[in-house]
Structure 1
Amino acid sequence: MVQSTVLLNSNIRNHINFPTNQLKSSTKSVKDKVFNLINPQIGKNTQKPIISESLRLCKCGRRHLVEAIAGTVLQTCLPSFALEPTSSAKEMLKKIHPPRSDWYEEFYASVLNNSMNEYEAEIAGYKSQLFEELRRLQAKQVLEIGIGTGPNLKYYATHASMVYGIDPNAKMEKYARKAAASSGLSPENFKFLQAVGEALPLDDASVDAVIGTLVLCSVNDVNRTLQEVKRVLKPGGLYMFVEHVVANDGTSLRLLQTVLNPLQQLLADGCHLTRETGSYISQAGFSSVDSSTTYISSFLFVNPHLYGIAHK
């Protein structure tokens, strides 16, 4: 459940060239040209304090490469440190994320680990602002759904006494553990759980904060996932999110997303470009939702991005 779209982004980036416009970005000018065409309003987007909004989002999950593009079999020999999920969590994992070939899961995890640097560099400022709230809250028990290779750990790991990382792909574990160690989090304080967001293998009211970045576009059931987030949060806990949302009706970007959505779901393992994720979050029953939007040029048509905090 995390970041994809590399394949489709690459195809568009290599075949379209349009006039440039202003854009906060660390990416190359050719991508700026494409991005500004499909997002004519972006010149004014800058980092800003999180404000309350109800916005629509969609995200492309991390699993976005089809088995057909893989030609190399990769294996990992590291021992597993994953916790044993509950039986209900196991059943939901098997239903939503059926077992796949080890080589494919490892190939995808490896690609994700090496393909998101540009995106992470561009969104770093927004994440820094967002996760600063964890320090203010003094969150000790933290759950991240769709932890993937652990790119968010560096923002919050040193302030937590226990971090639970959820991901349906067990091959992500070794990358997430490496990221945890690099962030100063000891092995005893990091637990990897192979599970899906629709059935979190944690007790009610057991964590101070839940983190999810680029996850909700690819979960099978958004409403159920958000109710699980609320269930495991302690009273007053925070749900911190970064998701990409569907563009506004009538825009060229929305048209492009509609056209590409079927292909995106196929290549990105269920990622929905036209899912109104922001509406799901605002209607999930949190006491309040504070959010802001921005555009990420390295994701081209997977925009805008919604980032914020929901309070239980």
Structure 2
Amino acid sequence: MAKSNNDVYDGPQWYKRFFAWAMATAAADYEGEIATRKHTLFANLQGEVLEIGPGAGVNLRYLQPNTHWIGLEPNQYMHSYLHQEAEQLGLKNIDLRTETAGNSGITDGSIDTVISTLVLCSVPDLAATLQEILRVLKPGGRFLFIEHVAAPAGTLLRQAQVGIRPLWQIIGDGCCPDRNIEKALAEAGFSNISHEAFEGPVPIAIVKPHIIGTATK
């Protein structure tokens, strides 16, 4: 629930600073509830790992000590929290950058695994981001994701997601609650996609629909 989307909401610096603080201090309950799923999804992280939108570093705890991790986090106010988390975990092979997910500057076919949690809802161009992920992945490389997604078309929840989107983008620093991420993944060109739907451990209904899965180049 971060950054921005096609209707780009680019908040003031004070809000970016506040959002970084909120992400660093208010995610404990969610992370505790979803930890089992993350442990399973990230069980074999190794080699060159790229994370898009790592925020305050909630996923660093799932890295192996010898993993080379690259994080693309445009909100520089997140960086101090992330470096602090890495230091507490004893992680040394950390490369934190401010490039965006749609224009990473990373060499073609150089990444073993890309990970994303609650980020695709807010990237400026979802299709371009998925193409960038495919570009940087090695053949057979994996994209691991946990995302909140649009509710089924025609449901009252989907209507609520659409209706609240303009306000929610401001509250959530660009988060788009009605983004059809499943459709975008299916159209991106991965050789194989495996995912399952579940109800996210959040109190707000519009962001409860979640998916977790793996897409292979």
TM-score scaled by length of structure 1:
0.64
- Give yes or no for the alignment of 1:107 onto 2:18: yes
SS of corresponding position for 1:209: strand
**Aligned partner (choices 36, 44, 50) of residue 143 of structure 1:** 50
Residues 44-101 of structure 1: CA distance to partner in whole angstroms, max 9, x if unpaired? xxxxxxxxxxxxxxxxx267xxxxxxxxxxxxxxxxxxxxxxxxxxxxxxxx787953
How far 1:282 sits from its partner (Å)? Answer: 1.6
Letter of the 2:163 partner, please give it.
V
How far 1:157 sits from its partner (Å)? Answer: 4.1
Return the alpha-carbon distance in structure 1 between the equivalents of residues 202 and 11 of structure 2.
31
Larger of the two Rg values belongs to structure: 1
Letter of the 1:165 partner, please give it.
G
Alignment of 1:18-167 (within 5 A): 61=2, 100-101=12-13, 103-134=14-45, 139-160=46-67, 162-167=68-73
Mark the runs of 5 or more structure 2 residues left unpaired by the alignment: none
**Aligned partner (choices 99, 106, 117) of residue 202 of structure 1:** 106
The aligned counterpart of 1:292 is: 196
- Give yes or no for the alignment of 1:184 onto 2:90: yes
Identity %: 39
How far 1:142 sits from its partner (Å)? Answer: 0.6
Letter of the 2:187 partner, please give it.
Q
Would the alpha carbon gap of residues 297 and 140 (structure 1) be closer, same or farther in structure 2, given more than 3 Å must change? closer
Mapped contact 1:217–1:271 kept (Cα < 8 A) = yes
Letter of the 1:169 partner, please give it.
N
Mapped contact 1:208–1:234 kept (Cα < 8 A) = yes
Letter of the 1:172 partner, please give it.
M
- Give yes or no for the alignment of 1:269 onto 2:164: no
Mark the runs of 5 or more structure 1 residues left unpaired by the alignment: 4-60, 64-95
- Relative to structure 2, which stretch is displaced further, 145-154 or 258-267? 258-267
- Relative to structure 2, which stretch is displaced further, 230-239 or 261-270? 261-270
The aligned counterpart of 1:175 is: 81
How far 1:227 sits from its partner (Å)? Answer: 0.6
How far 1:252 sits from its partner (Å)? Answer: 2.7
The aligned counterpart of 1:281 is: 185
Letter of the 1:252 partner, please give it.
L
Alignment of 1:218-233 (within 5 A): 218-233=122-137
Return the alpha-carbon distance in structure 2 between the equivalents of residues 156 and 282 of structure 1.
28
The aligned counterpart of 2:154 is: 250
How far 1:232 sits from its partner (Å)? Answer: 0.9
More strand by share: 2
Return the alpha-carbon distance in structure 2 between the equivalents of residues 294 and 257 of structure 1.
17
Q: How many residues align?
A: 213
Return the alpha-carbon distance in structure 1 between the equivalents of residues 66 and 195 of structure 2.
23
- Give yes or no for the alignment of 1:193 onto 2:87: no
Letter of the 1:142 partner, please give it.
V
Query: CA RMSD, aligned part only?
Result: 1.9
Would the alpha carbon gap of residues 299 and 224 (structure 1) be closer, same or farther in structure 2, given more than 3 Å must change? farther
Structure of greater relative contact order (alpha carbons < 8 Å, 6+ residues apart): 1
